[in-house]
Amino acid sequence: MAMQIGESFVGNGAQAAHINTVLGHRSGPAGTAWATALATPRAGHVPFVAVLKPGVPAKPMTLFVNKAAADTTAHAELTWGAAQAGVAAGVMDAVAQGVVPATAVDDLVLIAAVWVNPEATDADLVYANNRAATCAALRAGAAGLPSVEEALGARHSPANPFYTPSRDT
């Protein structure tokens, strides 16, 4: 299996989830990146293994990398609580659906770069959106999405929740 890179954005407003995934073999570049990221935390960004509950990590082993520094207690709790639980459950949803082959999970590692808005307040929505976004990002990576045609078609009208151009560029 070649390294798979996926992306997904689910939800609206401060409760939305934006996930980037890198899935690959433990013995390849993904494994090196996984171990390096785990071993090199930075202030506000402490990669950790995503767990379904203490002592039960998601399979494949999933490194949760926060994109937004956890500067407040509330934001840290949403990141390490609801978002982590959502990512771990989303990984297992992808395994249950066959997106990630169950027979390969011990040979693979996953890096999930996760955006939790510092203004988020609803733990249940943060959980649900991260769960859905993680599974969708893994599905996109497995399918090689978006297609080149889709990306080319969007180049003149890019938009995201934070910016939409006022005119075609």
* Position 105 pLDDT exceeds 70: yes
Active site residue 156: no
Q: What is the pLDDT of residues 41-89, one digit of tens each?
A: 888 888 999 999 999 999 999 999 999 998 899 999 999 999 999 999 9
pLDDT at 28: 96
Percent of the chain predicted with pLDDT > 70 = 98
Average confidence (pLDDT) over 129-153 = 97
User: Do the domain assignments include residue 80?
Assistant: yes
Average confidence (pLDDT) over 144-148 = 95
Instruction: Output DSSP code: residue 19.
Output: E
CB-based burial, 41-57: b 16+ in 10 Å, e otherwise: eeeeebbbebbeeeeeb
Helix (H, G, I), strand (E, B) or coil at 56: strand
User: Do the domain assignments include residue 12?
Assistant: yes
Taken in order 36, 40, 44, 50, the sign of the CA dihedral is: positive
As for how many domains the chain has, the answer is 1
CATH number of the domain enclosing 42: 3.30.230.60
pLDDT at 43: 84
pLDDT at 70: 87
* Position 7 pLDDT exceeds 90: yes
User: Do the domain assignments include residue 97?
Assistant: yes
Predicted TM-score (pTM) of this structure = 0.94
User: Do the domain assignments include residue 136?
Assistant: yes
* Stretch among 4-18, 120-134, 149-163 having the lowest mean pLDDT: 149-163
Rg for the chain, CA atoms, rounded: 16
User: Do the domain assignments include residue 72?
Assistant: yes
* Position 162 pLDDT exceeds 90: no
Q: Which of left, alpha, beta for 41 (phi over 0: left; psi -120 to 50: alpha)?
A: beta
pLDDT at 168: 60
User: Do the domain assignments include residue 148?
Assistant: no
pLDDT band at 161 (very low <50, low <70, confident <90, very high): confident
User: Do the domain assignments include residue 168?
Assistant: no
> Domain of 137?
4-143
Of 18, 25, 45, 75, the catalytic one is: 18
pLDDT at 163: 84
User: Do the domain assignments include residue 66?
Assistant: yes
* Position 169 pLDDT exceeds 80: no
